[in-house]
């Protein structure tokens, strides 16, 4: 990565990433680049198709529908509409 100082997330940070279709939640293990595209690599990741009331979800830390992903997950930053830090425990 050329300049991590200006990057929107940090390694080891737990984030929730909103794409047009789904939300993804997990711990950022590393960030890679392929040409002009950047990818977040998430461990302990979940895919979420329904967050209910977004503001209440951010406050409570509970998702109505979170499915664990069994492998490392890569999300293209170009597909992310929003990335937010996650201050709660990951779903069980």
pLDDT in tens, 64-83: 889 999 899 999 999 999 99
- The β-bridge partners of 53 are none
Q: Record the pTM.
A: 0.86
CATH code for the part of the protein at 13-85: 2.30.30
φ and ψ of 35, to 5 deg: 65, -125
Tokens of 49: 């198709």
Mean pLDDT, residues 10-15: 94
- Residue 77 phi, psi (nearest 5): -60, -25
Query: pLDDT over 70 for what percent of the chain?
Result: 92
Q: What is the pLDDT of residues 27-47, one digit of tens each?
A: 999 999 999 999 999 999 999
């Amino acid at each position: 990565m050329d300049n991590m100082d200006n990057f929107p997330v940090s390694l080891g940070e737990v984030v929730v990433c909103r794409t047009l279709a789904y939300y993804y939640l997990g711990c950022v293990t590393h960030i890679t680049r392929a040409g002009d595209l950047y990818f977040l690599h998430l461990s302990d990741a979940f895919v979420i198709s329904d967050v209910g009331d977004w503001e209440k979800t951010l406050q409570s830390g509970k998702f109505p529908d979170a499915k664990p992903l069994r492998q490392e997950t890569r999300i293209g930053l170009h597909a992310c509409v929003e990335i937010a830090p996650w201050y709660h425990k990951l779903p069980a």
